[in-house]
């Protein structure tokens, strides 16, 4: 349908509605509906959607990626310190986060950048070993507390809301020595750590994220090179971490609910990353392969928390149990939850944190599975190297996939409030970063369509990332920042890229600028061939 027809139809609907109201009492929901209809008319008439009034914009970083100060003022060693120091060859440019963007010293400057962007939120993470050098609450590092107090107070002074991630991958090495997330004991450690954070900062922090991307964390136990702690146990070690992380999240949520929520009135969620998986061919095998991949990468974490039934997705649970049995295991490699645990975990969310970057094609498996994990999800994931992409080889610009995954989440989990906690594009760090601008313009347009046409309850959007930073195994070669950082200059100066200016304009005008044409990312031209 053409936009102008839509506009016309909606006018008509609104008019019919108005005349119906003349005969009936105008119940509050009717008035609400009318306002909603008229708003839609205005947005379409302007040929662009405006963000809803109570929407929020944010920019994000994570502690290990920006702070530096790796051994300053009593901070303990984390698994990324260990990995990058022992195995620099696992990082594309042999670098590490020892100094990174030096936000440990330059945080006031970072807060000014946020102020300049005009965002309502800053999402940052707390380094567990900067607060608890050995991971346990028996030794607390005052300098660490001081540092995060300064950030939080600095943000609030400018009217910016802190959104705090408790865990963004920098596990205290002392806890990894006990097996890290494979050890169910971590649930206790995480509870203690979370409680301490609520006590220390919860009087000012209203938005908490327990764990960032458990999927990627689990891959650090599944032999994916360059993901700390770099343990190679696909299909077993990674599955142990899933149960631990989901329970640890639930525990942190319930501690808040029991001990803090009444007084602090904040919200607790989790940040889950997921690509859109598009079926390669329009046949039932590929369609179910794509669905299974989403369930495997998202459902294993989201279903226990967000679904009404709780527990892992039933089909996948069954499939892994069957595979395990056939392999001679006495029980499923995916450790099960008890009934009590299922009810304990179900519903432990105030919002759904979504990290989304790209779309990948899925088809029914062609090759012999190379490990147990691949056998379990039983699909090929493929991309096309000739498609538009930046400096991260996994990241293609596919805006329409964003809308599809938002719709999937709406359907599967009953339309929870989604705060997009990461979205962004990498390049080589150029200041005229046109491709990043196009990426944000198109992704935000698709997000608005998901909101206005599909009714997805998206409440906020976070640009990943504020600053060029240490991109894990991509080192400093993959730059996601709105601000450029010169890493060869000891003072680590920050310079706004073109994308920072455009993002600022979006936040100021509350809409995506109309001067940008609809860029075509017609993936028909791409023929995905390369297994990931």
The dihedral over CA atoms of 152, 154, 157, 161, expressed in degrees to the nearest 10, equals: -40
Q: Report in angstroms how near the CB of residue 385 gets to ligand PNW at its nearest.
A: 15
Cα 348 to Cα 249: distance, rounded to the nearest angstrom: 8
Beta pairing, strands 483-485 & 494-496 = antiparallel
Tell the burial category of 434 from Cβ atoms under 10 Å away from its Cβ (0-12, 13-18, 19+). Answer: exposed
- Contacts to ligand PNW by CB under 6 A: 62, 65, 212-213, 216, 273, 275, 355, 357, 394, 422, 464, 471, 480
Smallest CA-to-CA distance from 419 within 23, 58, 30 is with 58
Closest contact distance (angstroms) between CB of 153 and ligand PNW is: 25
Burial 109-147 (b: 16+ CB within 10 A, else e): bbbebbbebebbbbbbbbbbbbbbbbbeeeeebeebbeb
Question: C-beta of 273: minimal distance to ligand PNW in Å?
Answer: 5
Measure the CA–CA gap between 238 and 373, rounded to whole angstroms: 9
58 CB burial (10 A radius; 0-12, 13-18, 19+): buried
Residue among 278, 30, 17, 66 nearest 165 (CA)? 66
Q: How far is the CB of 216 from ligand PNW (least distance, A)?
A: 5
Nearer to ligand PNW, 260 or 476 (CB): 476
**Positive or negative, the Cα torsion across 69, 72, 74, 79?**
positive
What positions carry a catalytic annotation?
Answer: 213, 422
Compute the least distance from the CB of residue 294 to ligand PNW, in Å.
13
């Amino acid at each position: 349908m053409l936009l102008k027809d839509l506009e016309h139809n909606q006018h008509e609907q609104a008019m019919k509605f108005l005349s119906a109201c003349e005969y009936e009492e105008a119940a509050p929901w009717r008035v609400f509906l009318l306002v909603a209809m008229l708003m839609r008319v205005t947005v379409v008439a302007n040929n662009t959607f405006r963000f809803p009034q109570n929407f929020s914009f944010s920019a994000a970083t994570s502690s290990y990626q920006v702070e530096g100060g790796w051994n300053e003022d009593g901070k303990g060693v984390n698994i990324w310190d260990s990995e990058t120091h022992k195995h620099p060859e696992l990082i594309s440019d042999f670098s590490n986060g020892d100094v990174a963007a030096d936000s440990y010293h330059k945080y006031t400057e970072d807060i000014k950048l946020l102020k300049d962007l005009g965002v309502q939120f800053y999402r940052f993470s707390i380094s567990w070993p900067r607060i608890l050098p050995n991971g346990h609450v028996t030794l607390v590092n005052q300098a660490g507390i001081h540092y995060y107090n300064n950030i939080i107070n600095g943000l609030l002074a400018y009217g910016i809301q802190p959104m705090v991630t408790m865990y963004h991958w920098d596990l205290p090495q002392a806890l990894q020595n006990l097996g890290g997330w494979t050890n169910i004991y971590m649930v206790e450690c995480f509870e203690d750590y979370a409680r301490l954070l609520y006590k220390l900062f919860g009087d000012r922090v209203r938005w908490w994220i327990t764990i960032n991307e458990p999927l990627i964390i689990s891959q650090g136990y599944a032999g994916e090179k360059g993901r700390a702690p770099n343990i190679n146990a696909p299909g077993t070690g990674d599955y142990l971490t899933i149960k631990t992380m989901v329970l640890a999240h639930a525990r942190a949520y319930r501690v808040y609910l029991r001990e803090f929520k009444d007084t602090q009135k904040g919200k607790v969620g989790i940040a889950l990353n997921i690509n859109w998986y598009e079926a390669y061919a329009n046949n039932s095998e590929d369609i179910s392969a794509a669905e299974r991949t989403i369930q495997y990468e998202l459902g294993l974490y989201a279903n226990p928390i967000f679904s009404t039934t709780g527990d892992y997705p039933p089909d996948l649970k069954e499939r892994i149990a069957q595979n395990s049995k056939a392999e001679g295991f006495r029980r499923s490699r995916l450790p099960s939850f008890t009934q009590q645990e299922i009810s304990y975990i179900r519903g432990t969310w105030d919002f759904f944190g979504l990290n989304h970057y790209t779309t990948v094609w899925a088809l029914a498996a062609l090759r012999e599975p190379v490990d147990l994990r691949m056998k379990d999800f039983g699909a090929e994931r493929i991309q096309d190297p000739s498609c538009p992409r930046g400096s991260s080889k996994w990241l293609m610009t596919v805006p329409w996939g964003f809308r599809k995954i938002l719709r999937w989440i709406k359907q599967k989990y009953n339309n929870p409030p989604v705060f997009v906690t990461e979205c962004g594009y990498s390049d080589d760090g150029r200041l005229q970063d046109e491709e990043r601008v196009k990426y944000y313009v198109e992704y935000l347009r698709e997000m608005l369509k998901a909101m206005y046409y599909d009714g997805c309850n998206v409440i906020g959007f976070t640009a990943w990332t504020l600053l060029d930073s240490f991109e894990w195994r991509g080192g400093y070669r993959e730059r996601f920042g709105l601000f450029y950082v010169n890493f060869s200059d000891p003072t680590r100066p920050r310079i706004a890229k073109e994308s920072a200016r455009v993002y600022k304009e979006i936040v100021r005008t509350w809409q995506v600028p109309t001067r940008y044409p609809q860029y075509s990312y017609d993936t028909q031209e791409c023929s995905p061939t390369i297994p990931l």
